[in-house]
Structure 1
Amino acid sequence: MRKISALLLVLILAFTLGACGKDSSTASSEKKEIKIGATSGPYADMVKKAIAPQLEKDGYKVEVVEFNDYMQPNISLGNSSIDANLFQHKIYMETFAKEHKLKLSELIIVPTAPMGIYSDKLKDLNEIKKGTTIAVPNDPTNLARALKILEDAGIIKLDPAADPLTISEKDVTDNPKGLVFKPLEAAQLPRAVESVDLSAVPGNFALAAKMDLLEALQLEDMPEEYRNRVVVNKKDLNSDFAKAIKKAVESDEFEKTIDSEFKGFGKPEWMGK
């Protein structure tokens, strides 16, 4: 009799544990609440206006968590306080993940506000004269982008052997207009438009300063490495909610919202630019 009772107890425990494991797995695969972090401004707006509505159609409840710096969105993702974020390009993501020992992975690239050359004094880059001053970012990554815009516009020439992601003033091989470069903190570049002839302003700072991207004298042909992407923890890359986010970004409705609400944003290659 005791043997029968013990056997029944073992069977009951096995059934109970098996049921609990099944419920846990089902709950994980059927996650229907998603927290997406984004920096305040255009990318939080992109989540709210272009991504969340598509996810909600698929039955997800979306909470947008806004950040005012570039560290907390990844820290919060790494500790699973949020499920995904949107604010960074590939180079920043990989560097941050390595320095902070995080396992992050890009999910999909999204349209991104490009850097542009702006001026209150000139109407066209053809008006550049000898000794024209241009304010440029003082950090290596954004300086490289600014110089590439000038090369694409035919204003300067760069050493073709230089790494396009790390080019600097020393790689300028021809400067026929005698441009004078004035390095500044990126956040100061929108205001510099008032005091210098030209200013190379990263897209996020231009939008934060209420500048119209379409008023730039020249917008960059942005390399894919500099476009922002939705990022998730590597362990969640093949999760149902990650697939749902990717589907939302790839939807026709997403692109229509970008075209109407985010004018001037450069589209990634998969969207056909």
Structure 2
Amino acid sequence: MKKRQFSLLISVLLTVGLFAGCGQSGKTTETANNSNSKEITIKVGAAATPHAEILKHVQPQLKKEGINLEIITLDDEDQLNPALQENQIDANYFQHVPYLNSVAKEKGYDFTVAGKVHVEPIGFYSSKLKSKDEIKNGANIAIPNNPSNEYRALVLLQAQGLIKLKDGIANYSATPKDIVDNPKNLKFTEVDSAQLPRVLQDVDGAVINTNIALEAKIDPKSALFREDSNSPYANVIVVRKGDENKEEIKKLVQVLNSDDVKKFIQEKYGVAVVPAF
């Protein structure tokens, strides 16, 4: 009798254990499935303003699409391309194509553009002058010292009739040595882009990228003149070649090119940032 009771007890315990195991297994699978649907994480390195702000705006929408967007900002934006090269991030968003082409050629990066997002019209700022007409002979103008933005600044000054560059310049690369006509004998100080707001008091004017101006709390509307909407310098999402075909990257670009983002950019930044899609 005791033996039969013992066998019955074992049988009951095994049955309870089996059902308990099934219940726990089902719960684990459901959690795993839910986890898998939410665990697509992409790390995007970005400039702080406006790039990271725009990315932050789309985080909730991407979350609904099953994508966790992790935004990485660095004090030195020049490290965002090495970070992409070394697989520390999945994409970056801080540069335009002429700049990308110049550094890719120098560093041997095998990157590609996944999509365009916005243009930041570069502008001429001054703490001493109120208009272009006040630029005097021998005025000292600060310009970015990296090749693509230096060319961009010089082209802006050329468009305003202040200088003339030699013909046939290729690869978006020029320096003051390429100026063939300088009627006001302007002097140029080449400065790291991020330092341009700091030298503004020491020069007659400076050509400053909009994101740098925004970070320095300079009102973009205060620019004496700026690029128009036809600028070829759209800021882009850059990835390692081949990654542009990943679904999460496609979804990122799709969300960034939405009407919602266009409205957000226009309402938040006005003339400082222009949608490029």
TM-score normalised according to structure 1 size: 0.77
Secondary structure of the 2:169 match is coil
| Residue 38 (structure 1) aligned with residue 20 (structure 2) | no
Q: In 2 relative to 1, CA 122–62 (structure 1 residues): closer, same or farther, beyond 3 Å?
A: same
Secondary structure of the 1:114 match is coil
Work out whether residues 118 and 235 of structure 2, in 8 Å CA contact, stay in contact via their aligned partners in 1: yes
Show the counterpart of 1:133.
140
* Residue 110 (structure 1) shift: 1.5
Work out whether residues 103 and 234 of structure 1, in 8 Å CA contact, stay in contact via their aligned partners in 2: yes
Q: In 2 relative to 1, CA 47–144 (structure 1 residues): closer, same or farther, beyond 3 Å?
A: same
| Residue 104 (structure 1) aligned with residue 105 (structure 2) | no
Q: Give a deviation string over 1:102-133, Cα, whole Å, max 9, x none.
A: 53221111213232110111111022222222
Task: In structure 2, give the amino acid aligned to 1:44.
Answer: A
Show the counterpart of 2:93.
86
* Unpaired segments ≥5 residues, structure 2: 1-34
| Residue 249 (structure 1) aligned with residue 236 (structure 2) | no
Q: Give a deviation string over 1:146-170, Cα, whole Å, max 9, x none.
A: 1111111122222233337122223
Task: In structure 2, give the amino acid aligned to 1:152.
Answer: A
Counterpart mapping for 1:147-166 below 5 A: 147-163=154-170, 165-166=172-173
CA distance in 2, matches of 1:246, 1:118: 32
CA distance in 2, matches of 1:83, 1:127: 47
Show the counterpart of 1:193.
200
* Unpaired segments ≥5 residues, structure 1: 1-26
Secondary structure of the 1:111 match is strand
> May I ask how many residue pairs the two structures share in their alignment?
241
Show the counterpart of 2:3.
none
Q: Give a deviation string over 1:26-51, Cα, whole Å, max 9, x none.
A: x99996333222233321112102x3
Q: Which of 158, 183, 200 is 1:176 aligned to?
A: 183
CA distance in 2, matches of 1:162, 1:101: 22
Q: In 2 relative to 1, CA 60–133 (structure 1 residues): closer, same or farther, beyond 3 Å?
A: same
CA distance in 2, matches of 1:81, 1:64: 12
CA distance in 1, matches of 2:184, 2:108: 46
Show the counterpart of 1:65.
72
Q: Give a deviation string over 1:69-117, Cα, whole Å, max 9, x none.
A: 2354334433444322211222443454555555322111121323211
CA distance in 2, matches of 1:36, 1:116: 27
Q: In 2 relative to 1, CA 28–95 (structure 1 residues): closer, same or farther, beyond 3 Å?
A: farther
Q: Which has the higher Rg, Structure 1 or Structure 2?
A: 2
C-alpha root-mean-square deviation of aligned residues, in Å? 2.7
Show the counterpart of 1:9.
none
Show the counterpart of 2:222.
215
CA distance in 2, matches of 1:121, 1:261: 28
Identity %: 38
Show the counterpart of 1:122.
129
CA distance in 2, matches of 1:110, 1:43: 9
Show the counterpart of 1:20.
none
Q: Give a deviation string over 1:202-239, Cα, whole Å, max 9, x none.
A: 23322221111121111124743x33211222232112
TM-score normalised according to structure 2 size: 0.76
Q: Which of 265, 273, 277 is 1:265 aligned to?
A: 273
Q: Which has the higher helix share?
A: 2
Work out whether residues 29 and 240 of structure 1, in 8 Å CA contact, stay in contact via their aligned partners in 2: no
Q: In 2 relative to 1, CA 113–37 (structure 1 residues): closer, same or farther, beyond 3 Å?
A: same
Secondary structure of the 1:42 match is helix
